[in-house]
Structure 1
Amino acid sequence: MKRKVFVVTGNTGTGKTSVTKYLNEFYEMPKVVTHTTRQPRAGEMDQVDYYFESHDTFAQNHYLEQVTYDGNQYGSSREGLERAFEKNPLITIVLDTQGAATYLEELPADEVVVIYLTVSKEHDLYQRLVKRGDDVQKIHERLSSEEYVRDTQIPENLQAQAHVVENDDWEETKNKIDAIVQASIQND
């Protein structure tokens, strides 16, 4: 079986974590562990949730994409990809749309499957964020951020290759994800 990285992208609240968890559990796709210089939160484990790095060790990896957010560095490395591929030829990662575009540019086209999640009603995104327990003030900040606005529509550089999945109904979404996975595997 050929190597494939399933890149799950889309806006805040569209279900990226749920879809990735489904791919992890149902298809046994390991997630690519990414790197950060931020401190671990309660319950987070090094090499499971992130590779928790110092600024010095962070700089030693070979990144496909990286970003500084809230004073901390985040990135996904070629080393992290290889570690995930050692476990399974099918792997998954959650990226913002810019990161997804970078993966399409940097990796062989037949190795990247982009799944762009959306919902039919923008109001649903707000309700999902409230339901998962996010701070209301933080939700409003996030919904007015440049990144949120950017990711409300699929970027032009992803349109030709991304599978757009409207995640309004979880059972329908799983069926769409299953179809994407099967088509991706059969195309080898």
Structure 2
Amino acid sequence: MQKRVIVIMGAAGVGKTSICSYIGKKFGIPQVITHTTRAMREGEVDGKDYYFETPSSFKEKHFLESVTYAGNSYGSSIEGLNRAWEQSDLVVTVLDTKGGITYKEELGDQAWLWYVTISDQGKLVERLHQRGDGDEAVEKRISSPEFKRDLALPAVLKGKAEVLVNDDWESLKLQVDGLINDYESNARLS
């Protein structure tokens, strides 16, 4: 079976991390741990949620892709992807759309792109506050060009990504379950 990585993309606050956690818990799909220079949020664990880096330690990694988002660096290392693939042929990661483009370019069909959005994008600010981001952090994030870019699926990825609408968590879980169950059924047949 070909090794694949589910790449969950979308604007901040659409539920990418929640989907990733759900997939891990329900289906046992390991997460590719990515790196960031942003400050750790309450409840996050280094090496589980992210590898939390300093600007200098970040520069020492071997990245498949990396970006600067709202003043912080984020990246997915080749070593992290291979560590996840040692655990399972199907793994999951959370990236921005720029990272999704890079994964598709570098990995081809091994990158299974999922773009997450919500119908009322005005609710994203509320979601960012609910997850514990302060007013200044939220304002910085929503005014960033990266946030604005991720509000829409890039043209280059149209027709290459699953589009999931996260207006209702229970409905979204059904969409996710369907995608994973179809994948697993097809994998058993091949």
RMSD value over aligned CA atoms? Answer: 2.3
2-structure distance, mates of 1:151, 1:39: 21
2-structure distance, mates of 1:132, 1:55: 25
| Residue 118 (structure 1) aligns with | 117
| Residue 130 (structure 2) aligns with | 131
Q: How many corresponding residue pairs?
A: 187
1:158-178 Cα deviation digits (max 9, x unpaired):
112110011011111011111
Change (3 A) 1:173 1:69: closer
Contact residue 14 and residue 118 of structure 2 kept, 8 A: yes
Change (3 A) 1:59 1:142: closer
Contact residue 64 and residue 76 of structure 1 kept, 8 A: yes
Contact residue 65 and residue 99 of structure 2 kept, 8 A: yes
| Residue 144 (structure 2) aligns with | 145
| Residue 65 (structure 1) aligns with | 65
- The letter for the 2-side match of 1:123 is G
Change (3 A) 1:185 1:108: farther
Structure 1 residues 90-99 or 58-67, which shifts more?
58-67
2-structure distance, mates of 1:14, 1:54: 27
Runs of 4+ displaced beyond 6 Å: none
Contact residue 113 and residue 184 of structure 1 kept, 8 A: no
| Residue 48 (structure 2) aligns with | 48
1:185 Cα deviation from its structure 2 partner: 3.2
Structure 1: gaps of 5 or more residues:
none
1:41 Cα deviation from its structure 2 partner: 6.2
1:120-164 Cα deviation digits (max 9, x unpaired):
111221221222232123223322211111111110111121100
- The letter for the 1-side match of 2:137 is K
Residue 108 of structure 1 aligns to a residue whose secondary structure is: helix
1:93 Cα deviation from its structure 2 partner: 0.6
Say whether 1:166 aligns with 2:173. no
Contact residue 36 and residue 58 of structure 1 kept, 8 A: yes
2-structure distance, mates of 1:137, 1:60: 30
Contact residue 3 and residue 85 of structure 2 kept, 8 A: yes
2-structure distance, mates of 1:156, 1:23: 27
- Give the TM-score normalised by structure 2: 0.85
1:58-90 Cα deviation digits (max 9, x unpaired):
445432101245665431111110101111211
Say whether 1:3 aligns with 2:3. yes
% same residue: 44
| Residue 29 (structure 2) aligns with | 29
